[in-house]
Amino acid sequence: MAETGRLTHTRAATSAANPVLLMRIALVLALLTIWELLARSGWLYRDVVPSLFKVGAAVMELLSNGDYYFNLGVTAAEIGVALLIGGLSGIAIGLLLGANRFLARAYEPFLYYLGPTPKIIFFPVMIMWFGVGPESKIALGTLSCFFPVALSVAAGMRQIDKVLIRVGTSFRATIAQMVFKIYLPAMRHPIINGVRLGFGFALIGTLLAETKLSNKGIGFLIIQAYSTFDMPRMYAMLIVLFVLAFCVNAAIGRLGGLETIKRT
């Protein structure tokens, strides 16, 4: 017990004296102080930079509001479906391009160069094809997440250990057996990494589409707060959204055990 106490004490002393931690705390405090001073200075229009207390109160109000959770559910469902369709089609195309060099040389440059184009410009087309409802948001999210998943899976497939493929071939495995027993298990990390990237793009695509034309979802709430100049609420929604996006991203990373890549 005495030993445990001593160990705890040592750890606490180390973390308290950790200069990096102290620097981080100092930077955060400095930023918050500058923010609060700017909010109280009157240099900017009222509420453009609202007081931290107002933002904190808005976060609390937001999290206790049932309507917010309904809209969060709508956006989450749209992103989920977009990720499912875009992710699965991205994995399928990625597997095909990764397995066949000739097809990769024929089609991968198109994916590579279309990948970094701004997808939101396709939204008018999506509205014409799928209407103004959630379908057009899902379509834009799907389009946004397809490219990173497909490119990541294709690149990952080419990095599979050739020995594993030869083992599958020597056992005369069928295509389905090769995909499910060799390729997919060997490509867990690239696929999860692609899905992680795809999630980020699907989130942005779906939410931007909601801000442009929607009557429900988090994007709609953000643009509604902008229209009514409810700045503390807008800041609160952006903060909660960024935190949620960060948590989901981290969760997907953990699912794929991405941290193990660094260790091995």
Partner 1 sequence: MTSVSTPAHVAQNPYNAQILGWGSIVVFLLAAEGLIRLGFISQFIVPPPSEIAVSFGRLVAEEHIIRRFFYTVGECLAAGAMITVCGVAVGVLLARYNLLRQACETWVAALASAPFVLAYPLFMVIFGRNAWAIIVMGFVSGLPPVILKTIEGISGTRRVLVNVGRSFNLSGTQQVWKILFPAALPTIFVGIRLGLVFALINIVGTEFLINFGGLGQLIADLAERYDLAGTYAAICFVILVSIVFFVTLEQIERWLRPVD
Binding site for partner 1 (CB under 8 A): 19-20, 23-24, 27, 44, 48, 96, 99-103, 105-107, 109-110, 113-114, 116-118, 120-125, 127-129, 165, 169, 174-175, 178, 200, 203-204, 207-208, 211-212, 219, 222-223, 225-226, 229, 231, 234-235, 238, 241-242, 245-246, 249
State in angstroms the smallest separation of the CB of 122 from partner 1.
7
State in angstroms the smallest separation of the CB of 85 from partner 1.
20
Nearest CB to partner 1, comparing residues 174 and 215:
174
Nearest CB to partner 1, comparing residues 87 and 220:
220
CA-CA distance, 131 to 198, in Å (whole number)? Answer: 24
Nearest CB to partner 1, comparing residues 1 and 162:
162
Query: Which residues contact residue 166 at a Cβ distance below 8 angstroms, ignoring those fewer than 6 apart?
Result: none
Nearest CB to partner 1, comparing residues 35 and 107:
107
Q: Are 188 and 256 in contact (CB under 8 A)?
A: yes
In terms of residues, how long is the chain? 264
Q: Are 83 and 199 in contact (CB under 8 A)?
A: yes
State in angstroms the smallest separation of the CB of 246 from partner 1.
7
State in angstroms the smallest separation of the CB of 22 from partner 1.
9
Torsion, Cα 235 240 241 245, to 10 degrees, reads 140
176's tokens: 């389905």
CA-CA distance, 21 to 178, in Å (whole number)? Answer: 48
